[in-house]
Chains A and B, each alone.
Chain A
């Protein structure tokens, strides 16, 4: 029974309190990076300009940059960070594999394949010009389908092979196989389509039309709601499927729910921003190390915040503030994510089997 003597233990059951400070801190960092992302770039906007924009007295150019370019791009970064990190977290839990992530296991490649089919294949006969003219939902749906096929393949393989590294290698093989097929398609496609496709593969947060941003916002919000709704399922899956089933989890339904959620989020991002690597695999590990928890009630919101922050930082770096140049955002995320992945692999040498 709860008595004055063990009241301290009672409060331990409200993890929100224990992690409150961390969440407030992360939210503050998110706000700051978001603001920095808007004001830093090839044209650095001074704080004084902010007031002028707010009061409607701004210089027309600055206002255009902020409203039409910087703000949509910052929101895109937010959506991309959330979507990729959450799908990485979900994949790591459902596969019980620390090396899982949408990019490394080929899910992003699957989505790219779907998009490539649309851009390089069918669209040549139906649509003229560039990506903007192809229906946004068609691109997204084909990305989901491509991502879904790879997810099913990986699930099928991982139910037979337990070894984490083997699955990782198979994921890389799948990705290479898909890129080989895409190369063949490139060989047979028109020059304009090829150019559209190559630019798309470099990954960009800044080329989304208002319509595309809307689609991205809708799908990522849906994925986020599904993720929050599935925290209990994800926690149960930490036990492994047998124990999870024995405590009352419907394994087939849960798998389907989480797969759908992952494919929707990773697929939508890949469809509009290109394949962006290593965010999905790295962020969940960073979050686990910040919060030192296995509870998805903590990890899911933690991942949403941290994923956004890291993606915003990547975007700030890719804009090379103060210069006229822009780096492909894909390279920046890889350079941030890869060291984290290597660190996880090296640490596993000492704690075998633990993720």
Chain B
């Protein structure tokens, strides 16, 4: 099958940055990237590279320094303010603070580009608001004051607001920042559900695990431009090595993790099976040992049942440990 030519989002030599007075600060080389729509796109890159600026430019909140953004094959500059607000929704890290504002009030404001001059909630708007409250699981929170929400609930309310705005494209700047693990995955899960329903979501994140394991596509923002592709493509073509200039951190293409490139202290042989072996190896590598296949004079024997102990054989002697922690304490010496 031929490649799909339809682009929901297309960045064409887009130049992003700031102008203050006559001084122009361009953040990166011109950017080229695209999205076929109905997918979750993670924007990753180091601090200050311009992730937020890119997202703000995509939302139309900030002028591009040059180049073009096309949404549904139409230049962003050709959209009227209201048309753009019906096409792209935006959530930043900024927290909305207003006294007496309920979740319902907040979500209703998402209807702004659809309502009349008074902001009257008609039947369509009512259904959109109810729908987004239910979809985000906030139906019982509608009369809750937004200042009383937890971080996760607040983020859901912001998502519900954009859902009520009824845009095909949603832009989110670090939607999972400051969230605990369960709220984080709830939000990501919600975002995935929305992309399955056809929404295109572009979000920035510092959470590499989420980008690698949940996103359909990654826009890796570098000084030289955007490297884009499925997370796996970027793993295989070594793109993630560009993420760090430093030599002490390296990307492990086998398991998709970043780790410190420490000089291994010694080689160690591990004997045993199963999940305990996996985590023991994890601990040993963290402590600075490299796992070897050769049975040598440094050897760890993994306990087979719960009541047994970890055995460490050094040359001729054997030592017993109750936990991985005790084992690593000994090996640090």
List the interface of chain A (C-beta within 8 A of B).
1-2, 6, 9-10, 12-13, 96, 98, 229, 231-232, 235-236, 238-240, 242-243, 245-250, 288, 291-295, 297, 351, 353-355
Contacts and interface: CB of A to CB of B under 8 A. Distances in A.
23 contacts: A12-B104, A13-B126, A96-B97, A96-B98, A231-B118, A231-B119, A232-B115, A235-B112, A235-B119, A238-B98, A239-B98, A242-B92, A242-B94, A246-B88, A247-B85, A248-B82, A250-B81, A291-B100, A292-B100, A294-B99, A294-B100, A294-B105, A354-B98
A248 B113 contact: yes
A236 B61 CA distance: 15
B96 interface: yes
A238 B104 CA distance: 14
A295 B121 CA distance: 12
Nearest to A291: B100
B117 A248 contact: no
A247 B113 contact: yes
Contacts of A292: 100
B155 interface: no
Interface string B88-116: 11101010111111101110011011010
A243 B118 contact: no
Contact of A249 (B110, B112, B115, B130): B112
A237 B90 CA distance: 15
Contacts of B165: 247
B130 A294 contact: no
B112 A240 contact: no
B149 interface: no
Instruction: Determine chain A's interface SS by DSSP, over half rule.
Output: loop
Contact of B89 (A236, A246, A295): A246
A355 B96 CA distance: 11
B112 A236 contact: yes
Contacts of A247: 85, 109-110, 112-113, 165
Contact of B98 (A1, A12, A232, A355): A355
Contacts of B117: 229, 232
Contacts of A240: 94, 96
A289 B149 CA distance: 20
Given A243-B90, A247-B85, A232 B96 contact: no
Contact of B97 (A6, A12, A229, A355): A355
A143 to B, nearest CB: 29
Contact of A238 (B61, B89, B101, B127): B101
Nearest to B126: A13
Nearest to A237: B98
A249 B109 CA distance: 11
B81 A246 contact: no
B199 to A, nearest CB: 16
Contacts of A98: 99
A350 B94 CA distance: 21
Interface in B51-88: 59-61, 81-82, 84-86, 88
A232 B100 CA distance: 17
Nearest to A294: B101
Contact of A239 (B84, B85, B96, B115): B96
Given A96-B98, A239-B109, 15 more contacts: A10-B126, A13-B126, A98-B99, A229-B117, A232-B115, A232-B117, A236-B112, A240-B96, A243-B96, A248-B82, A249-B112, A250-B81, A293-B105, A294-B102, A354-B99
- List the 5 shortest-distance A-B pairs measured between CB atoms, nearest first: A248-B85, A246-B90, A232-B119, A294-B101, A248-B113
B94 A243 contact: yes
A13 B90 CA distance: 25
Interface residues of B, number: 38
A29 B165 CA distance: 40
B84 A354 contact: no
> Which of B60, B89, B130 is the most central at the interface, judged by chain A CB atoms within 10 Å of its CB?
B130
Given A1-B127, A235-B109, A248-B112, A288 B100 contact: yes
Contacts of A13: 121, 126
Contacts of A231: 118-119
Nearest to B125: A13
A301 to B, nearest CB: 12
A351 B119 contact: no
Contacts of A6: 130
A232 B82 contact: no
A231 to B, nearest CB: 6
Nearest to A238: B98
A236 B109 contact: yes
A2 to B, nearest CB: 8
Nearest to A92: B99
B100 A245 contact: no
B100 to A, nearest CB: 5
B126 A232 contact: no
Nearest to A249: B112
Contacts of A355: 97-99
A232 B112 CA distance: 8
Contacts of B147: 351, 354
B130 to A, nearest CB: 7
A232 B92 CA distance: 22
Nearest to A232: B119
Interface in B186-239: none
Contacts of B92: 242-243
A297 B108 CA distance: 13
Contacts of B126: 2, 10, 13
A41 B119 CA distance: 44
A296 B98 CA distance: 12
A96 B100 CA distance: 14
Contacts of A249: 81, 112
Interface string B305-317: 0000000000000
B61 A245 contact: yes
B156 to A, nearest CB: 16
Nearest to B102: A294
